[in-house]
Every structure is written in structure tokens, then in C-alpha cells.
């Protein structure tokens, strides 16, 4: 007993052991156990049941990781720890768990850096007074926790205007009126605001942060020119409008109506651009949040939807939109999003430039793997594992595994890649094809002149000559005319067409240097003196000179020409300026429309080379994607050419049935007539086959080359007719209209397109021509494309796949002379903000390829008859249109009177003025046998009288359709005016006179139009003293809606439903009927 007391006293007198020693000793033991190979202790020794813990399997990136646990008997447990280690790290770190009370238990907060590698491992351990530790997990079997980026949370955005009540549309959806508070996901949104008086403004905003307050100032008056306001964060960034530097942010300036490209760039930040559509009288405001770039070349990743997890080479890097430094070389990119399919792509990161990737993640509504292949330019042949599968862009389900993909096209170097396709993941491949073969230079001059290339005579214009790829000095000279020299650059396999009109020589005129650049607006230093900005024409002295172009954020370009003194001479220089950190390469997945067009293009290519089975399969696959009747016609054509007359006849009948049902659709009469001709031919082929023996019926079909017989229609082998007057010259930076007459009497015009390029683009950019009436087709080339070296060609196909009929050609396009709006005067420093040119390499200025690549294709456009995108313009003023209507309706006052049948005849005159103003005057006469209830008569007394009713109205309004839909098909005109209605009969006359309000709407599907007109009038002339028991009319409501068919530009017919309602003080008189209308414009 005495010994025990002594030992207890000695123990109490000893100095206690510091807690840090417990922690260090425990951590050492844990790491030794983690590296040991001994068997795991049993569950009884670990006492897992002493600690209750729900494993943390994932935690938000960038936030502290909270680990919680409960213990059964905390008084007998001490020093609970969380031991954690980052992925790839062999050693654990110790974190103390704090007692947070009975409700919360023990808790440890791990720093956010624990997830810096994407995941970490941990376990929980607590020492027990009985000696053995209690654990959840262990050093050798820890719990894994992965980082995740939480989906973006909606941000509260408040929209205000100086005067409340303005209508707000966000991303083309009605959202309410100001002041308005909505929740939007982070990212880019378009906000359109229209005041009650018609004033409107539009802003593109980047939603970010916790809250956003957007104050919008409406223009001072409705109508007038459009304006553009550009803001950026940070400010003081260059603003480029259609490739021309116009100022710095914050920027405010006038804007022509139509589509424009607004670009904002700042050194050290990601270059951004957006499309804006300017409408007359509407302000467009664009805001940019410029993301800083790393010093090294950066990868930019965007996706739809935003917020996708980004993995590069198997390592998670964040969520879209993402910008991250990336070493040069080959990389694999994978995007993941909950509820969407995984999408991956391979890319080569350039050494001296940025790389941008945009991918769309489809919904996870299917299994399997899909491979998508795209190329620039499109239309290249695709082979997978040695088998031809189609043309780019191409997409199809592909078995998982390793595949060899090759892309090739005429005039381009074949490229091959090996790709790994993973289960349940979509893979995108993008190819940038390189041209092959000699370069060609075509020169036209007016008048004919001697052409020199690099000082050597090559002949007289017009001429086409092969030249070596690279830079060349082209010179055109003729006696008595000014000599023009132009610096050009051509790539391998590329053709360049140049047209140079010569002017009479003036001996006393000094030499002229014409300088232009992309982007324009670069400052020009002539012999170290600032003389202006591109584009500019400078007169100077003969002899050697130095011309330097300087634009912030771009490498300076220098040329040192020597100008002759023995003749009138002009030197033309055009350059593409290179960004300081190299040009950004872009890669994006093809859209559904592009894949659909490529499917049809591939089928067309099969038909052209005579592979009819391939063409049939392609057209059938395209028709399954979109049930376009034109594709059904193509299917019938392929079956007929293969000799499958029974199948062909059935398909022709199906096509004609669809054509009959879709009379409002734009199917040419020639196409329908051709289908009837071929159906009759197929039926003629089937008649003898049905009468013959079974063995004869089973015989092979006759060869396609046999001569047509009485039961076989001659094949349509003639391409459509295309007539076009080439444009010889136009003004720089202004939209250019291209018009052509295209017709095909046999099978009709299927598709037509215009292709153009300029000195700054390598490939042709092709767009569909739209039908503007009859056989007339046209398109408006955007102003940004109308610049130096502009050239174009037109082509068309018919529905029998004959073509292309062309005006111009890819190898010999129509070259257009670009004139400047006004001569530029040399004035050093006048109106020009001088920026000292940054030091840089001296590069000879010349035409440079490698600008933004167009969407040219190696194959014709989809044979779907899709029209061109039409720029919204004010409607053209038209003469009077007069319509006569004839019909009838039945009206009643519910149970008060018997229904009456009314005959109706009327006339309507309308006129459209400039700037979308509209006016209408109408007159109507109705005749009927109408019942009335006398005011002083018995309850059931009714009197029937002959009644004549006359309606007169006049109204005017402004058409808002062009502001809402840019293709010009929509008419939406609010109306205001005056209406007078009078009913003349024996005993019960009444009148209505008052203001009216209405709406006139139509949707055009030439030659048809869906139309609706409604109006409401309030009676200011009420008189309740009459003999009618219904008393006086209070208001009138009328509606007319139906279908109009335009027989010709001057004549149209229409069939309409008409509804009419008159509200008396005691009852409604409601009528329904139909009318037939005939109209003429003159």
C-alpha cells in the first residue's frame, strides 16, 4: 500500500508530456505503418465502432475541407486526428479535430490546398485510454476524396431605366418590365430594352460576381441612326469594328444598320469578339470582361453548356470557360458535365501562339461512342481504317478502340492520325489542311498592259501564270499610263486574281504609295514621320523610302521601297499584322446544320462519280435526319437510275403527296413536274414487267445507258442557266450586293451560292444565295469583306444534280477594284494620336495569307434550297395596294334573337411608306334580315327588319417586324386610328364612332403569307334613348385571319376567317364567317 502511494506521488510530481510530442510520435508511427508491409490489424483492435463518420468523397475546389466525426465515449478518447495526404504524396499530415459540442461532434478543417492535385486521401484516428487506437480508415486503406467544381449559381441581375415600364427581353425571351430583377447563370447574355414610346437599346453583358446592377439609358429619340457603345474591364482596350480600329474603350460611335463584328483586344489579355446586329434607331452596347493571359502560350476552352469539367492529359484543370498556360506539343482534352456525354479531342499546342477550343456536350440520352471529323476547308474526303465514310464535317457511331483516320482533298496534302475512341465518350478530330501544287496568278488590266513578276516580263494581260509560292512583286505597265506595282503573296496550290485599271500618266505627278492593313487603322510612319493610318494613299518623292506600320499589340511591319523617277508610278502595299504573342488558332466542333449539309454533299459526290448505291444511302440517311421533300425526290431519282422502278414509283408518289400537303412550302413547280414525268416513266416500265412471266420479272434491270423508250422519260442532264453582270468596282468598306438570274425549266433550281475572298484570306468563303423574286437570286456581302483583293464567283445546281453553272470560277474569279470613298491627304500628326512604334523585327510588307479562314467547301452546298441569311433592312416604300373582299357571316345575340345570315362586301386600301410606316383605309357593307327586341314590347316580342350596316376605318402604324426578325418575313404593325360604324334599318338604327387600336401581323413564306388583322373600337357616341332593348353599342371588336397567295408581284388572292363582335349595353352580337379577297398593287 505504501509503495503504491509513493509511485502515485512520483507520477503526479513528474512534468507532464507536451501535446506536440503526442502528435509527433503519432504522426511518425502512422507514416511508418503506411510504408510497412505488415498485415492490417484486425477490426477489434482498431475499434472502428468507437467513431462514427460519413466519408467525404468529394469537396468543392478552392474551399476548406471539413471532416466531421462522432464518438461513443469522448471522455475516454483523446487527441483525435485527421491524417491526410495529397494525391501522389507518400507521407501524411496530421490535423487536430476540435470538439464542437454534443450536436456537432468533432471537426477538423483542412486547407483548400489539400485539393490542389485534384484529390487527397485521409483517415481518422483517436487514442484510447485502454491503449489501442480507434480508427475510420487506415494508413494503408485511406478514404479518397476528390475535388469538384460546383455548378455555377445563378446571379441576381437588376435592370433599370430612367423611366420605369420599359419592356425587357433577355436572350430573345420576354422577361418583364423595368425595374426588373432576375437570376441569370454566369456568362454572356443579351439584354434588349424597349421603352413605351418606342425607344430601344440593346446590351451584351458578362454576368459575374454575386450581384449585378445594370442601368440602361435609352436613346433620346426613337428612330435615327444606330449607335454602338463598347465597354471593357479593364478599360483602354483597342476596339475594332469589322476589322478597323475605331478607338479605345469606353467607346461610343455611330453604327450602320446590318451585321457587324466588334473585337476588343489588349496586350496580355484574351482577344474577344462578338457579332452585333444594328437596327435603325436602336443603341447597341457591348461589354467585355477581358481575361488575363499567362505569359506563356495559353489554352482557352469554352463549352455549351458552360461549367464543364476540363481535363487535359488526364489531369483536371478547372471548369469552362478556362484559360491556362499550356506547354507546346500534343495534348488530349476531355470535357465532362453531369447529365451530358463526355467529349474529347486531341490538339497540337503551338509554340508561339494561343489555342482556342470550343466543344458542345450533347445530352446523355444514348450509349456508345461517336467520332466526329472536321477540316478547314470543309468538304474533304474522310477514310476510317482505310474505308471511305463521307466528307467533312462527318460524324457517326464508332466502336471503341484504336482507329486510323485520314482526310484528303484535291489540291491539299493528305493527313492521317491515329485516334483512341473510348467507350461512352464522343471524340472530335479537327484537321487544318495544307495546300499542295503550284501557285497561280491571274492578272487583268484595263487597257491591256505588259505584266512583270519580280522584274521579269511574263506576257500581256489578261494572263494566268504559275509562280512559286511566296512573296512577289507584280508590276503592270502600258505606254501613256501610270505604272502600278503591287506586292502579293500566294501559297502553294492557291490562285490569286488581281484586276488593275490603269490611269493616264501625268508626268509631273510624284510617286504614290497606297498602304492598307488587316486590321486597318495601323499608324503609318513614312521615313520616321507619322503621316496617317491605314488605309491611306501617300504622295512622296522618288528614291528610297521606309514605310513602317505600327499598331499596339501587333508586330511592326516595315518595307523599304525604291520609287522610280522616270514615270508616273504607284506602289500598293497590303499586310496582315501579326499579334505580338502570335495568332490565335481556333478549333470548334461542327454544328448540326453543318453535319446535315455534309451528309447531303457526300451523297451528291457519290452521285457525280456514279456510285448510285452510295448516293442512295446518303440521301436516305439525310432524309431520316430531316424530312425535307427535296431529299425524298433525290431518293426516288437514285432508285430510278438503279432500275428499281417499283421503289422509285412509290417514292415519287410519296414526294408528290408531301408536295400536295405542303402547298405553302417553297417547292418549285418544275420540281413537281419533273417528279410527275419520272413517275409516269417508272409506271411505264412496270406495266410490261407485270405482264411478263415471273422469270422475266426477276431478270436484271436494263442498263442505265439504254436509249429512252416510250415508257422512259429522257434524262435531265442540262445544268441550270446562270446570268450575272460581274461587278467591276465598288467602294471600300461598304456592303456589296451580288445579283443573278438563275433558272432551270426541267427540274428547277436546287441551290445557289456566292463565294468570295480578299487579299487577307486564304480560302473562299461561301454563302447561299437567297431568292428575291422569280428567277432572281442575291446576297449582300458584308462590308468587312469588301477590301483589297476582293474577288468572287457564283455557282448553282438543279434538282437533278446537274451543275455547277458558274459565273467566274475558283481558279478564275471576278476581281473587283476597290475604290476609296475620298482621296486621303498626307497630314503628319493631324487628327492622329501618335504612338511610338515598338521595336521589332523588320519584315518586308506584302500581301499575307493566313487571315481568318473562311467556310469554303470542296463540294457544292446542301441541295436543300436553303435561302441566304437576309440582313434586316427597312421595308421599301410600295405603291397603293387595293383589295376587294366578298363573303358572308352568321351572327346572333345568343338566346335573345335568331341567328342572321349576312352578306358582306368591302374594299381595303393600304400603303407602306419609307422607314416602315404603314397606313390603311377600309370600307365594308353588310346586308341582312336582323331581329331586334323592342324596348317597350312584351318579353318574347321580336321584330325582324332589313338592315344595312356600313363600317369605315382609317389607321396608321409602324412595322416592328424588321426589328424582331432579320430575314424580312415578319410584319408586326400596331395600329391606331378612327372607326365609324352605322346600322340603317326601320325602327332600330344605331351608330358607333370612336378611336380604334389594332394589330396587323403576317409571316411570309413566298408565294404564301399567313396574315391576321385585329381591331378594337370604343364608342364615344353612345345613345341609350333608342327603341332597341339592347340599348346603345359600347364597343366593337373585329378580326380577320387567313392565307394569302401571291399570283404575281402585282396580284394576290386570299381566303380569310372573319369574326365580328358588337357589345351593346345589355348583350353581345357575335358573328363568324369567311371572305375571299382579291388584291392588286399599282
Mean pLDDT of 1001-1012: 84
Strand-pair category, 211-215 with 200-207: unpaired
pLDDT of residue 847: 33
Mean pLDDT of 485-502: 80
Largest CA distance in the chain: 136
Query: How does residue 962 score in pLDDT terms, banded at 50, 70 and 90?
Result: low
pLDDT of residue 198: 65
Q: DSSP string spanning 504-535?
A: B--TTPPPEEEEEEESB--EEEETTEEEEESS
Residue 41 CB contacts under 8 Å (≥ 6 apart), including other chains: none
| Backbone φ, ψ for residue 191 (5° rounding) | -115, 120
pLDDT of residue 60: 83
Strand-pair category, 51-52 with 65-71: antiparallel
Least confident of 275-284, 448-457, 524-533: 275-284
Are 745 and 800 a contacting pair, CB within 8 Å? no
pLDDT of residue 667: 59
- The rounded distance, in Å, linking the Cα atoms of 1037 and 1062 is 6
Q: Is 555 exposed, middle or buried (0-12, 13-18, 19+ CB in 10 A)?
A: middle
Query: How does residue 848 score in pLDDT terms, banded at 50, 70 and 90?
Result: very low
Query: How does residue 17 score in pLDDT terms, banded at 50, 70 and 90?
Result: very low
Bond preceding residue 645 cis, omega within 30 of 0: no
Range 325-333, long-range pairs (CB < 8 A, 24+ positions): 325/294, 325/295, 325/296, 325/297, 325/298, 325/299, 326/296, 326/297, 326/298, 326/299, 326/355, 327/296, 328/297, 331/299, 333/299, 333/301, 333/357, 333/359
Mean pLDDT of 466-479: 85
Least confident of 36-40, 57-61, 256-260, 614-618: 36-40
| Backbone φ, ψ for residue 411 (5° rounding) | 85, 10
Query: How does residue 936 score in pLDDT terms, banded at 50, 70 and 90?
Result: low
pLDDT of residue 999: 93
Asked if pLDDT for residue 693 goes beyond 90, the answer is no
* The length of the chain, given as a count of residues: 1082
pLDDT in tens, 277-299: 776 666 677 778 787 877 788 88
Query: How does residue 507 score in pLDDT terms, banded at 50, 70 and 90?
Result: low
Strand-pair category, 817-819 with 1051-1064: unpaired
Name the percent of the chain lying above pLDDT 90: 11
pLDDT in tens, 580-602: 765 567 777 787 777 888 888 88
pLDDT of residue 659: 80
pLDDT of residue 42: 38
Asked if pLDDT for residue 223 goes beyond 70, the answer is no
DSSP state of 16: P
pLDDT of residue 742: 92
Query: How does residue 1073 score in pLDDT terms, banded at 50, 70 and 90?
Result: very high
Mean pLDDT of 703-710: 40
pLDDT top residue among 966 and 936 = 936
Q: b/e string for 255-268 if b means 16 or more Cβ within 10 A? A: bbbbbbebbbbbee
DSSP state of 846: -
pLDDT of residue 979: 93
pLDDT of residue 6: 40
Asked if pLDDT for residue 967 goes beyond 60, the answer is no
C-alpha cell belonging to residue 847: 500581301
- The rounded distance, in Å, linking the Cα atoms of 1002 and 1006 is 12
CA 791 distance to own-chain centroid: 25
pLDDT of residue 537: 86
485 closest CA partner among 474, 494, 496, 499: 474
pLDDT top residue among 1034 and 497 = 1034
Which CA distances in Å does 524 have to 35, 84, 557?
A: 69, 62, 10
Mean pLDDT of 971-986: 89
pLDDT in tens, 303-330: 888 788 899 998 888 888 888 888 888 8
Asked if pLDDT for residue 996 goes beyond 90, the answer is yes
Q: Is 304 exposed, middle or buried (0-12, 13-18, 19+ CB in 10 A)?
A: middle
Query: How does residue 1042 score in pLDDT terms, banded at 50, 70 and 90?
Result: very high
CA 965 distance to own-chain centroid: 15
Least confident of 651-665, 926-940, 1023-1037: 926-940
pLDDT in tens, 190-207: 788 887 776 677 777 777
CA 544 distance to own-chain centroid: 48
Range 772-776, long-range pairs (CB < 8 A, 24+ positions): 772/739, 773/1006, 773/1049, 775/741, 775/742, 775/743, 775/749, 776/739, 776/740, 776/741
Query: How does residue 27 score in pLDDT terms, banded at 50, 70 and 90?
Result: low
Q: Is 1 exposed, middle or buried (0-12, 13-18, 19+ CB in 10 A)?
A: exposed
Query: How does residue 688 score in pLDDT terms, banded at 50, 70 and 90?
Result: low
Least confident of 185-194, 227-236, 579-588, 601-610: 579-588
Which CA distances in Å does 450 have to 340, 478, 526, 553, 812?
A: 63, 6, 30, 40, 19
424 closest CA partner among 390, 397, 386: 397
Q: Is 300 helix (H, G, I), strand (E, B) or coil?
A: strand
Least confident of 34-43, 286-295, 655-664, 724-733: 34-43
Least confident of 333-347, 477-491, 813-827, 828-842: 828-842
pLDDT of residue 704: 36
Least confident of 74-78, 171-175, 616-620: 74-78
- The rounded distance, in Å, linking the Cα atoms of 628 and 620 is 11
Q: b/e string for 945-971 if b means 16 or more Cβ within 10 A? A: bebebebebbbebbbbbbbeebebbbb
pLDDT of residue 365: 66
Mean pLDDT of 920-929: 90
Query: How does residue 74 score in pLDDT terms, banded at 50, 70 and 90?
Result: low
- The rounded distance, in Å, linking the Cα atoms of 103 and 83 is 23
Least confident of 381-385, 507-511, 865-869: 865-869
Mean pLDDT of 902-908: 89
Are 520 and 732 a contacting pair, CB within 8 Å? no
C-alpha cell belonging to residue 871: 440582313
pLDDT of residue 8: 40
Report the predicted TM-score, pTM, of the whole model to 2 decimal places.
0.55
Q: b/e string for 709-735 if b means 16 or more Cβ within 10 A? A: eeebbebbeebbebebeebeebebbeb
Q: DSSP string spanning 907-938?
A: EEEEEE-GGGEEEEEEEEEEEEEEEE-BTTS-
Asked if pLDDT for residue 167 goes beyond 70, the answer is yes
pLDDT of residue 23: 59
Are 460 and 408 a contacting pair, CB within 8 Å? no
Asked if pLDDT for residue 39 goes beyond 50, the answer is no
Are 974 and 948 a contacting pair, CB within 8 Å? no
Are 82 and 70 a contacting pair, CB within 8 Å? no
pLDDT of residue 25: 61
Asked if pLDDT for residue 842 goes beyond 60, the answer is no
Mean pLDDT, the chain, whole residue set: 78
Which CA distances in Å does 939 have to 146, 895, 990?
A: 85, 13, 21
Least confident of 438-452, 837-851, 891-905: 837-851
656 closest CA partner among 677, 626, 642: 677
Asked if pLDDT for residue 529 goes beyond 90, the answer is no
Strand partners, 500: 445
- The rounded distance, in Å, linking the Cα atoms of 553 and 266 is 7
pLDDT of residue 866: 36
Amino acid at each position: 500500500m505504501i509503495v503504491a502511494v509513493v509511485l502515485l506521488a512520483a507520477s503526479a510530481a513528474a512534468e507532464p508530456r507536451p501535446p506536440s510530442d503526442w502528435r509527433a510520435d503519432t504522426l511518425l508511427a502512422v507514416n511508418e505503418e503506411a510504408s510497412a508491409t505488415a498485415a492490417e490489424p484486425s477490426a477489434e483492435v482498431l475499434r472502428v465502432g468507437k467513431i462514427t463518420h460519413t466519408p467525404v468523397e468529394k469537396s468543392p475546389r478552392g474551399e476548406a475541407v471539413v471532416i466531421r466525426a462522432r464518438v461513443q465515449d469522448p471522455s475516454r478518447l483523446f487527441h483525435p486526428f485527421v491524417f491526410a495526404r495529397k494525391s501522389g504524396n507518400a507521407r501524411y499530415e496530421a490535423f487536430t479535430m476540435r470538439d464542437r459540442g454534443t450536436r456537432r461532434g468533432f471537426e477538423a478543417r483542412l486547407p483548400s490546398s489539400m485539393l490542389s492535385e485534384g484529390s487527397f486521401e485521409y483517415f481518422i484516428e483517436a487514442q484510447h485510454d485502454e491503449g489501442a487506437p480507434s480508427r475510420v480508415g487506415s494508413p494503408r486503406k485511406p478514404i479518397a476524396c476528390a475535388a469538384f467544381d460546383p455548378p455555377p449559381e445563378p446571379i441576381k441581375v437588376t435592370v433599370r431605366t430612367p423611366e420605369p415600364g420599359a419592356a425587357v427581353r433577355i436572350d430573345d425571351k420576354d422577361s418583364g418590365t423595368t425595374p426588373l430583377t432576375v437570376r441569370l447563370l454566369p456568362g454572356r447574355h443579351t439584354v434588349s430594352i424597349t421603352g413605351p414610346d418606342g425607344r430601344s437599346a440593346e446590351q451584351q453583358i458578362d454576368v459575374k460576381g454575386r450581384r449585378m446592377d445594370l442601368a440602361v439609358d435609352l436613346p433620346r429619340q426613337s428612330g435615327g441612326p444606330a449607335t454602338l457603345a463598347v465597354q471593357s474591364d479593364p478599360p483602354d482596350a483597342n476596339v475594332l469594328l469589322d476589322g478597323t480600329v475605331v478607338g479605345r474603350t469606353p467607346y461610343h460611335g455611330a453604327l450602320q444598320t446590318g451585321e457587324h463584328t466588334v473585337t476588343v483586344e489588349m496586350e496580355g489579355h484574351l482577344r474577344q469578339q462578338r457579332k452585333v446586329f444594328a437596327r435603325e434607331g436602336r443603341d447597341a452596347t457591348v461589354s467585355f470582361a477581358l481575361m488575363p493571359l499567362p505569359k506563356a502560350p495559353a489554352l482557352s476552352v469554352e463549352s455549351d453548356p458552360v461549367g464543364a469539367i476540363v481535363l487535359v492529359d488526364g489531369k483536371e484543370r478547372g471548369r469552362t470557360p478556362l484559360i491556362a498556360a499550356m506547354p507546346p506539343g500534343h495534348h488530349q482534352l476531355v470535357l465532362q458535365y453531369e447529365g451530358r456525354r463526355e467529349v474529347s479531342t486531341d490538339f497540337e499546342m503551338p509554340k508561339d501562339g494561343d489555342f482556342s477550343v470550343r466543344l458542345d456536350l450533347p445530352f446523355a440520352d444514348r450509349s456508345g461512342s461517336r467520332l466526329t471529323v472536321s477540316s478547314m476547308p470543309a468538304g474533304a474526303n474522310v477514310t476510317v481504317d482505310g474505308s471511305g465514310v463521307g466528307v467533312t464535317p462527318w460524324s457517326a457511331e464508332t466502336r471503341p478502340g484504336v482507329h486510323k483516320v485520314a482526310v484528303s482533298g484535291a489540291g491539299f496534302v493528305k493527313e492521317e492520325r491515329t485516334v483512341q475512341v473510348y467507350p461512352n465518350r464522343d471524340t472530335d478530330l479537327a484537321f487544318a489542311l495544307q495546300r499542295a501544287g503550284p501557285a497561280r496568278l491571274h492578272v487583268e488590266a484595263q487597257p491591256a498592259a505588259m505584266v512583270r513578276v519580280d522584274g521579269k516580263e511574263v506576257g500581256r494581260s489578261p494572263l494566268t501564270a504559275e509562280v512559286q509560292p511566296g512573296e512577289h512583286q507584280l508590276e503592270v505597265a502600258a505606254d501613256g499610263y501610270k505604272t502600278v506595282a503591287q506586292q502579293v503573296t500566294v501559297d502553294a496550290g492557291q490562285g490569286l486574281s488581281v484586276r488593275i485599271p490603269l490611269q493616264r500618266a501625268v508626268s509631273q505627278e510624284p510617286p504614290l504609295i497606297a498602304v492598307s492593313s488587316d486590321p486597318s487603322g495601323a499608324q503609318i510612319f513614312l521615313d520616321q514621320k507619322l503621316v496617317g493610318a491605314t488605309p491611306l494613299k501617300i504622295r512622296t518623292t522618288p528614291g528610297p523610302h521606309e514605310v513602317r506600320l505600327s499598331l499596339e499589340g501587333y508586330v511592326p511591319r516595315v518595307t523599304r521601297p525604291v520609287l522610280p523617277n522616270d514615270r508616273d508610278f504607284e506602289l500598293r502595299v497590303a499586310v496582315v499584322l501579326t499579334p505580338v504573342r502570335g495568332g490565335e488558332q481556333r478549333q470548334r466542333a461542327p454544328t448540326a446544320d453543318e453535319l446535315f449539309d455534309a451528309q447531303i454533299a457526300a451523297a451528291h459526290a457519290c452521285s457525280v462519280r456514279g456510285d448510285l448505291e452510295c448516293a442512295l444511302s446518303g440521301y436516305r440517311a439525310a432524309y431520316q435526319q430531316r424530312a425535307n421533300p427535296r431529299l425524298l425526290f433525290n431518293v426516288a431519282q437514285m432508285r430510278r437510275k438503279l432500275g428499281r422502278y417499283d421503289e422509285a414509283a412509290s417514292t415519287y408518289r410519296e414526294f408528290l403527296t408531301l408536295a400536295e400537303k405542303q402547298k405553302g412550302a417553297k417547292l418549285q413547280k418544275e420540281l413537281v413536274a419533273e417528279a410527275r414525268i419520272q413517275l409516269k416513266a417508272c409506271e411505264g416500265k412496270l406495266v410490261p414487267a407485270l405482264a411478263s412471266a415471273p422469270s422475266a420479272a426477276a431478270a436484271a434491270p436494263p442498263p442505265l445507258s439504254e436509249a429512252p423508250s416510250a415508257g422512259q422519260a429522257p434524262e435531265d442532264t442540262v445544268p441550270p442557266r446562270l446570268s450575272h453582270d460581274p461587278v467591276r468596282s465598288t467602294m471600300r468598306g461598304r456592303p456589296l450586293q451580288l445579283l443573278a438570274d438563275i433558272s432551270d425549266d426541267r427540274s428547277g433550281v436546287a441551290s445557289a451560292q456566292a463565294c468570295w475572298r480578299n487579299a487577307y484570306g486564304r480560302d473562299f468563303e461561301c454563302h447561299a444565295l437567297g431568292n428575291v423574286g422569280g428567277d432572281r437570286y442575291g446576297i449582300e456581302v458584308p462590308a468587312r469583306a469588301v477590301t483589297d483583293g476582293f474577288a468572287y464567283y457564283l455557282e448553282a445546281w438543279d434538282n437533278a444534280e446537274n451543275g455547277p453553272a458558274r459565273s467566274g470560277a475558283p481558279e478564275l474569279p471576278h476581281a473587283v477594284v476597290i475604290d476609296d470613298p475620298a482621296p486621303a491627304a498626307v497630314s503628319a500628326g493631324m487628327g492622329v494620336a501618335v504612338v511610338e512604334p515598338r521595336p521589332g523585327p523588320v519584315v518586308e510588307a506584302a500581301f499575307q495569307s493566313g487571315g481568318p479562314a473562311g467556310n469554303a467547301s470542296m463540294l457544292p452546298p446542301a441541295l436543300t434550297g436553303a435561302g441566304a441569311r437576309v440582313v434586316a433592312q427597312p421595308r421599301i416604300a410600295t405603291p397603293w395596294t387595293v383589295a376587294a373582299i366578298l363573303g358572308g357571316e352568321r351572327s346572333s345575340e345568343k338566346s335573345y334573337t335568331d341567328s342572321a345570315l349576312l352578306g358582306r362586301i368591302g374594299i381595303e386600301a393600304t400603303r407602306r411608306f419609307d422607314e416602315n410606316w404603314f397606313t390603311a383605309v377600309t370600307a365594308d357593307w353588310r346586308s341582312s334580315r336582323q331581329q331586334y327586341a323592342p324596348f317597350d314590347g312584351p318579353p318574347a316580342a321580336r321584330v325582324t327588319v332589313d338592315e344595312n350596316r356600313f363600317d369605315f376605318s382609317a389607321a396608321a402604324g409602324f412595322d416592328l417586324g424588321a426589328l424582331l426578325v432579320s430575314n424580312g418575313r415578319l410584319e408586326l404593325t400596331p395600329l391606331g386610328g378612327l372607326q365609324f360604324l352605322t346600322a340603317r334599318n326601320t325602327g332600330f338604327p344605331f351608330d358607333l364612332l370612336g378611336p380604334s387600336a389594332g394589330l396587323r401581323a403576317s409571316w411570309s413564306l413566298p408565294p404564301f403569307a399567313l396574315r391576321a388583322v385585329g381591331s378594337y373600337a370604343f364608342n364615344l357616341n353612345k345613345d341609350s334613348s333608342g327603341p332597341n332593348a339592347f340599348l346603345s353599342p359600347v364597343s366593337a371588336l373585329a378580326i380577320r385571319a387567313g392565307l394569302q397567295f401571291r399570283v404575281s408581284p402585282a396580284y394576290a388572292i386570299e381566303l380569310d376567317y372573319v369574326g365580328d363582335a358588337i357589345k351593346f349595353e345589355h348583350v353581345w352580337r357575335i358573328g363568324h364567317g369567311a371572305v375571299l379577297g382579291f388584291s392588286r398593287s399599282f
